[in-house]
Amino acid sequence: MRVPLASTGLRDEDIEAAITVLQSGNLTMGKKVIEFEKLIANYLGVEHFVMMNSGSSANLAIFEAMMRPSKGEPLLRQGDGVLVPAIAWPTTIWPVVQLGLAPIFVDVERDTLALDLAAASTAIRNAKCPVRAIFPIHPLGRALNSNALTNFANENRLTYISDVCESLGSFENEKHAGSSGLAGSFSFYFSHHITTMEGGGVATNVLEFADDLRSIRSHGWSRDRSDVAEWTENVSGTDAKFLFLTTGYNIRPMEIQAAIGINQIRDIDSFVRKRRNIAYSVIKSIVGTSLSVVGVNSNELSFENSANSWMLIPIRVNGNNAPQRRKEILEFLETQGVETRPVLTGNFLSQPAMNRIDGRHQPASDFPIATEITETCFLVGAHHDLSEAQILHLCESLKLAVAIG
Ligand SMILES: Cc1ncc(COP(=O)(O)O)c(C=O)c1O
């Protein structure tokens, strides 16, 4: 039996919704996108949600909007530093690099995998450029401490934005991850908490920022903005329908994606509940052994009030010789059909791609916790499509793996 990390997440009703869109002939961004944006903004408890074609595009658009707003002063200028976690997804980091900003890497916390704020203070002190923003990741379904981040950002005069691509449906202090700070980016790539096949977007409570994101996702266009009338009134000599207010891309979503998203977001609570139950089963199956679920205190095995939406389940190999035992455990799980993967990309500073950027970033060895996590932890699936038999097989295989490791 196989226990995959990912599943399409598409149900018959999602496929029917997609076919209806194809038959309607309304294919490019339109009413379905607007409807989906309202539903997800409402779910997250934010004022605005701007849908895009991926979570990576959402990250890119956030930085573009901060650097080249259509009105007022930019929040970031070329050469400014942005605090980012040492365990990251590539497209958390690449927009920072691509737009001429400096990624300032910060080690993560061993038990939450979150960007470590004590290490962030040191990074600000040691930075060779002004640090103006903090861009942590809410990792693997775990919401960050938004009050601590907001206070830290205020104390250090940083703009707080966050990458929530792995953590839709998680919350902290009764607030959804990504609903604090200037903006949060989300991904609806297949296998995430909801799917639009590919897809993503940005949540924000700031209307001007949402307006700029709408321009940026569509060539820099004035269309779709709340203040379009104000701009077009003052224009002479240019066709008001072809008015461009800032730099932009074409990173628009399609109606077919939004139609699937509309179906999916209605069922998010049941998807997240299922993921929590899977995590709970895994935790119970390995409690008291040399394996543990990262960040879970074995004394707190009640999941009723859990705020974690479990994108995947991070497991740590504890004790002596953990890196070697991890290797053996992964080989064994593979023979059982249980798919595993590293924690995001592991210590991102070790990735060959980092040699292709200007070389002023810190060496991988400066991030011992990220390295330790890379060497001793791994992920297994928590997808809400897993059957009871697959969940049982996952738990039994982990129990058997303990005997090896
Ligand atoms: C932390 C993080 N940021 C960004 C992304 C990119 O999202 P997408 O695949 O929708 O481009 C991912 C992908 O899973 C991610 O894990």
Average pLDDT, the chain: 95
pTM of the model as a whole? 0.97
Task: Burial-class residue 291 by CB neighbours within 10 Å (0-12, 13-18, 19+).
Answer: buried
Instruction: Report pLDDT digits (tens) over 202-213.
Output: 999 999 999 999
Give residue 165 CA to ligand 1 midpoint distance, Å: 5
Whether 165 lines ligand 1, by a CB cut-off of 6 Å, is yes
pLDDT in tens, 344-376: 999 999 999 998 887 667 899 999 999 999 999
pLDDT confidence band for 6 (50 / 70 / 90): very high
Report d(CA 343, CA 351) in Å as an integer: 13
Which range has the worst mean pLDDT, 38-42, 292-296, 364-368, 392-396? Answer: 292-296
Q: How far apart are alpha carbons 169 and 177 in whole angstroms?
A: 8
Q: Is the CB–ligand 1 distance for residue 163 below 6 Å? A: yes
* Residue 172: predicted pLDDT: 87
Dist. CA 367 → ligand 1 center (Å): 22
The mean pLDDT of 147-158, rounded to a whole number, is 97
Q: From residue 85, give the alpha-carbon distance in Å to each of 138, 183, 266, 369.
A: 10, 17, 32, 11
Cβ of 89 below 6 Å from ligand 1: yes
Q: In the predicted model, is pLDDT for residue 85 greater than 70? A: yes
pLDDT of 121 higher than 90: yes
The arithmetic mean of pLDDT across residues 152-162, rounded, is: 98
Query: Do residues 129 and 79 touch, judged by C-beta distance below 8 A?
Result: yes
C-beta 84 within 6 A of ligand 1 = no
The per-residue pLDDT for 297 is: 72
pLDDT surpasses 70 at 304: no
Instruction: Evaluate if residue 303 carries a pLDDT over 60.
Output: no
Question: CB of 36 closer than 6 A to ligand 1?
Answer: no
